[in-house]
Amino acid sequence: MDDKKLSTAIAQAVAEAGGRAFLVGGIVRDRLLGIESKDIDIEVHGVEPQRLELILEKVAPRREEGKKSGCFTKGASFGVYGIYGSSIDIAMPRTEAATGRGHKDFEVFVDPFIGTGKAAERRDFTINAMMQDILSGEILDEFGGKEDLEKGILRHITDDGFREDPLRVFRAAQFAARFNFRVAPETIKLCSSMDTGALSRERVMGELEKALLKAEKPSIFFEVLREMKQLHTWFAELEPLIGLEQSPIYHPEGDVWIHTMQVLDNAAEVLHTEKRRPSNEKGFMLSALMHDLGKAVTTAEIDGRIRAINHEIAGLEIAGSLLGRLTQEKSLHFYSLNMIKLHMRPNMLAGQNSGVKATNRLFDESVDPVGLVLLARCDRRHEADGEMSVAYEEFLWERLEIFNEMMAKPFVKGEDLIAAGIEQDKAFGEILGLAHKLRLAGVPKREALAQCLRFAEDLREKA
């Protein structure tokens, strides 16, 4: 039984017991927007918890031997249940009261007879507070969510309820980005007064990830946080980019903040339209966000020109600080910092029509050569000379193809050196290093091995 049929079965059983089952939250909003939603959240009214558990046990499909069947509690005190083999969440109406900072401690009061209005009041935004009767299809809209949805407005429900969870500051920003909505002035004002400092990095990163990977214009996420004056706690490294001047010759679009937001949106377009894919999409988006952080400490006027020499290197420590606040995922740190370090070189080499050896060295140093070329495109797309940008990119794709063909050819490995009688001593690493350089230079394996053996002999003589 699929989740849709199971939802109907639950609703029918609940109705027979004198209650009503509603779809709640994002699925109602997404249906009205014409967006397919896989997440099904059900709220059951008018049936006590013990009776609901019996109903769920009864309607739950029997699974094959060795697999658990029936329902289980996802939080007994929260009144939330699941069914084995299904992704549906079934919840009882409840109210919450925060008892600590950052929504880390709160009390939950389950009440199946609280009423739909009171139950919906605990939700964050009007567009998420609508409820749809599973059997009749009737939509209950206690707070004008449908009208706000039609107008593209994100509006909180109550000040006190909204304030209890500071994460809603970031939820407002990511919903605005994903749906291209504007945040109501009163919601902006409330969010500006909220303290987000006690939130966990996992919760903040969760909202950021949705904005980066799901929104067509993730820049809206940061523009909304800027309007709320909420960049300083979690994204403080971005603030110095606001108003930071750039050379109008290379950046006619404006300051570093404007440029960064444009590059970020260009990167999102890559994810939504490009057949070539970066190997780490989240890392790719973070690299676009952080690629010019070093300009905050390197920008200066030199000989009458605004320049930011070596900003890609200076930005590594700053980006590391921002990443460390958001995540401990080492692979994400490695990927993003590698991309930031190298982001200037592709277009520079293309502009100089550099040789194959130079581009080979670049791609060899890159953790994701495809992603690096795509990031270079995003970084240049603001420029007025579109033909030059296209030419640069064509150059880079051609050179990447050469690199890939070269790396696919036979090359000298450690086992080849050992078979030739080279001992694995201190010099072994140097010899392997030479072998790799010869590989990047396109030297055939037989000739490269001969050079490596001569180099090994020279090292022995010097020793």
281-335 pLDDT, tens digit per residue, is: 999 999 999 999 999 999 999 988 999 999 999 999 999 999 999 999 999 999 9
pLDDT tens digits, residue range 108-121?
788 999 999 999 99
Q: Which CATH code of 3.30.460.10, 3.30.43.10, 3.40.50.11540, 2.40.50.140 fits the domain covering 1-143?
A: 3.30.460.10
Token digits of residue 232: 């300083």
Tell me the percentage of the chain whose pLDDT exceeds 90. 82
Q: Mean pLDDT lowest for which of 189-198, 200-209, 243-252?
A: 243-252
- Average pLDDT estimate for 2-27: 95
Q: Which residues contact 208 (CB under 8 A, 6 or more apart)?
A: 170, 174, 221, 326
CATH top class, domain 235-408: mainly alpha
Residue 249 confidence (pLDDT): 78
Which of 94-108, 173-187, 226-240 comes out lowest in average pLDDT? 94-108
Q: What is the pLDDT of residue 235?
A: 98
C-alpha span between 148 and 50 (Å, rounded): 37
For the chain, the domains span 1-143, 235-408, 410-462
Query: In the chain, what is the straight-line distance between the N-terminal and C-terminal CA atoms, in Å?
Result: 75
pTM over cut 0.85: yes
